[in-house]
Amino acid sequence: MSGYMVRDFLSSPLRILALVLVAGALFLAIFADVITTYSPYSQDYDAVLEPPSSAHWLGTDHLGRDLLSRIIHGSRIAIVVGIAAVGFAVTVGSLLGLAAGYSRGILDEAIMRLVDAILAFPSVLLALGIMAALGPSLTTIIIAIAIGDMPVFARLTRSQVLSVRERDFVVAAQAMGARVPRIIFSHVWPHVTGPILAMATLHVGLAMLTEAGLSFLGLGVQPPTASWGAILRGGFGYIEVAPWISFFAGLAIFLTVLGLSLMGDAIRDLRDLRTAIS
């Protein structure tokens, strides 16, 4: 990234906010054990449903567990699910999109019909079906979200490849007898990564929302593991007497997803700026 692009990025308050929110979430997830004073699983029955105080900054839940500690440790689950699920979806979807867009013909039709079949199911219902079939676990959540997101990246990659494969440098590589894998990964792939990266950043946030929704329904990470959706589920029954439980868990989800959404927009804008400069 050139100095001009860095200055352009930092010139926008929204981009700076995105950087702070995303970096903050990563920092909390990585150093959760160092930052927190209480264990996220430690129960104190003398401090059940205690409101925010100097001892417990965000209060406690119905089992007397420190809410701040559970939210900070819950960021690990959200980030792991988001990055792993989207990483898997990007890898598989991009490979399918590269193969379909470059080969065309029967292979293109077969891959796109498979993608259309998956897209026929709403992503949340598809995830619910997979979770119900395989059982709730962290691995199952990642697989369920990845399968639902994979068609998006397959379609995006294919559309980008279709425009790049007709450019002069690709035609020249073909005329010189370069092998297909070399053309795809050395000449085509570097020119399609920008939109994919921007879309992936947005989908990390969507994956976090999906994980929180599944955990809220009891199909995600199981107790006593700290996750934002599970905290929301635990606080739902005490919304009238202890609203801080649901409020702070929801705020953590909102700020993280907001940061990722703004970061995705910033990456897209930087790509457009790079294209205009070149």
Taken in order of first residue, the domains within the chain and their CATH numbers are 74-277 (1.10.3720.10)
Q: What is the pLDDT of residue 14?
A: 87
pLDDT, position 8: 67
Cα 92 from Cα 114, distance rounded (Å): 13
Dist. CA 114–CA 184, nearest whole Å: 22
Q: Please give the pLDDT value at position 125.
A: 82
pLDDT of residue 201: 92
Q: How many CB atoms lie within 10 A of CB 72?
A: 23
Three-state secondary-structure class, residue 107: helix
For residues 42 and 53, what is the distance between their CA atoms, to the nearest angstrom? 17
Q: What residues of the chain score a pLDDT lower than 50?
A: 276-278
**DSSP3 helix / strand / coil % (the chain, rounded to 5):** 75, 0, 25
For residue 268, the model assigns a pLDDT of 78
Given this model, what pLDDT does residue 277 score?
44
Closest alpha carbon to 259 in 75, 2, 114, 37: 75
Considering the entire predicted model, what is its pTM? 0.89
